[in-house]
Structure 1
């Protein structure tokens, strides 16, 4: 609204106007407060999303002062090593594994995840026969005894398979709870093509000992945009006395691809379906105004000084770009609600300066 200041001032007597502009309180003059000064971020303290021009299914693992980053390349497995996640785009990748030209794990390499377990590195990935037939995808694991996963030799430990059923299985991740280790993945039940989340106990980093328990399947409207109907990309996040299983829902080729969440007590039996509570609403979803579509398949990391929690995820920068290499990796800090659950907020707009993770 615009005010007619000149006409107002004509109606104010000179003395009143003087008092209005400069009031005294004893020997101190009261002056109207100045607006707060907002200093722009200092150069070198910010970064912008996306981190890379392409990078579906981004994953990061922090060890000994370095972040090891991976994403789906389809043809091989590559690792980026960086001391600062905000500088990921300036680093080159190292080839960790090139698959054989033929065989059951020769093509369509997806969703790699890297872990340091029992004194060695393990790299889990999804793959199937080379070609366009994706119905034979399974989960596989490699082992490396080197202290640095970008060096040394990777040895195949074979397929990570449930003793109960060898069905379509992708997006494997690891949960450690109650001094036990569990594998969680997205798979089929042998009856339909709906992607469900399963969990099984592990006897070592490459062996499942069962039983195979279904934890979640698409049931809400925001989980059933497709077909296919999908729960996939399970990731573990721990905070306080809670364990969260954050997953991706709806078909990755739709703009509605989003994150859902299961919650359990940190000491509960993760094989018991009753231990988990499923969120009825997505916890992170698209934001067209910020050019973030199909937001999903995430991972988590802590800032270099251990004071901040960050989510790393992929998104498309435009509508209807599908489930291909146009998906790019992005990261942003998140906070925690009073009830101890994560508050991921909304996707930050691309090309917007964001303060680097603390400690960088």
Structure 2
């Protein structure tokens, strides 16, 4: 079964809508949407180009981790990009404490012109306010108190490292309402498994929290953020877990991190390494929960070795997600999917 797409791919985002699964993933040069009736076979999926940026724009290059979301009968694509191929001018980068090629990465939003994700046209809507600071892997976090933006951030503009998780309040899917003072850092890579190399003790360079995704337990309604930790071209890349236990997502005390270990990590016995940047979706009949993620079979080749995989997961008795060991299968088809 795995990989579910026989080509290089990373940062998969999958949703289910009216009989189809829709996927976006990092292509670097554009934003492409594919759709399939099958959750576990995307090789014959239909493909549609949503957005090809013009040159010399803040979002012209390095388009990463696009996600497709529906709000009020419109579809929005939130994505990361930068203006110049991850190569800031020396005069700018020399302000950083560490080498920081990503200093110009920011978050952007596209909007559809209709209510159907496939037939719609998509146009640039806005730059999300991240206070003119590094921002990647942004996602929407929905809560009874409103809509939020959670993304990977630096504490200050020229920190370079570590990469943390930040949250801000939103007025709508393209407008951040929080100020810089109201922005909250809710996770910092302080645990051994969040560092690169593992348990790095010399400095914070390469330590990362990124790729956050909201996950709600369908029975208990516990609200989690599952995020990627360590470094994405490394065999130790894995998933960590935050749980929202308070009423205000902008309060640090409202969040509890599972500090013990990764909740989803490499499985050397099956040569499944560097597993991370996941999204979550139901089986066709809604009976099962599935994780869609990327990983590597050959961790020596870094980013170019990543492929997209999918597996069923369950829930622990305490309401937390119980992820499987990553592997290649074969696994039973998702419940309700025809062979």
Give the distance between the partners of 1:219 and 1:52, measured in 2 at CA: 35
Displacement, 1:275? 1.1
Give the distance between the partners of 2:216 and 2:320, measured in 1 at CA: 10
Give the distance between the partners of 1:178 and 1:223, measured in 2 at CA: 30
Alignment of 1:17-32 (within 5 A): none
Give the distance between the partners of 1:132 and 1:166, measured in 2 at CA: 16
User: Which aligned runs of 4 or more in structure 1 are off by greater than 4 angstroms?
Assistant: none
Displacement, 1:283? 0.2
Alignment of 1:118-137 (within 5 A): 118-133=72-87, 134-137=102-105
Counterpart of 1:246?
226
Displacement, 1:166? 1.8
**Match for residue 113 of structure 2 among 125, 141, 145:** 145
Q: Deviations over 1:254-308 (max 9, x none)?
A: 110110000124x722111111110111100111221211100110001111100
Kept in 1: contact 2:4–2:43 (CA 8 A): no
- Cα 1:183/1:132, change in 2 over 3 Å: closer
Give the distance between the partners of 1:166 and 1:105, measured in 2 at CA: 14
Kept in 1: contact 2:152–2:209 (CA 8 A): yes
Give the distance between the partners of 1:51 and 1:207, measured in 2 at CA: 34
**Match for residue 212 of structure 2 among 234, 240, 251:** 234
Deviates more, 1:226-235 or 1:106-115: 226-235
Kept in 1: contact 2:195–2:229 (CA 8 A): yes
Output the aligned Cα RMSD. Answer: 1.4
Give the distance between the partners of 1:132 and 1:272, measured in 2 at CA: 33
Residue 205 of structure 1 pairs with residue 185 of structure 2: no
Residue 307 of structure 1 pairs with residue 287 of structure 2: yes
Counterpart of 1:176?
142
Counterpart of 2:159?
192
**Unmatched runs of 5 consecutive residues or more in structure 1:** 1-46
Counterpart of 2:250?
271
Residue 354 of structure 1 pairs with residue 334 of structure 2: no
Alignment of 1:56-205 (within 5 A): 56-133=10-87, 134-162=102-130, 165-190=131-156, 191-193=158-160, 194-205=162-173
Counterpart of 2:309?
330
Counterpart of 1:10?
none
Deviates more, 1:282-291 or 1:220-229: 220-229
Displacement, 1:150? 2.6
Give the distance between the partners of 1:302 and 1:174, measured in 2 at CA: 18
Q: Deviations over 1:142-194 (max 9, x none)?
A: 000223223222121121114xx220101111111115111110011225221
Kept in 2: contact 1:77–1:96 (CA 8 A): yes
SS in 2 for 1:222: helix
Larger gyration radius, structure 1 or structure 2: 1
Q: Deviations over 1:64-108 (max 9, x none)?
A: 222110110000000011122123222132111001111211000
Give the distance between the partners of 2:23 and 2:176, measured in 1 at CA: 26
**TM-score normalized by structure 2?**
0.88
Residues paired across the two proteins, number: 308
Kept in 1: contact 2:210–2:228 (CA 8 A): yes
Kept in 2: contact 1:119–1:145 (CA 8 A): no
Q: Deviations over 1:90-129 (max 9, x none)?
A: 2132111001111211000000000011110000110001
Give the distance between the partners of 2:35 and 2:114, measured in 1 at CA: 15
SS in 1 for 2:155: coil
Kept in 2: contact 1:187–1:195 (CA 8 A): yes
Give the distance between the partners of 1:223 and 1:48, measured in 2 at CA: 26
Counterpart of 2:235?
255
SS in 1 for 2:42: helix
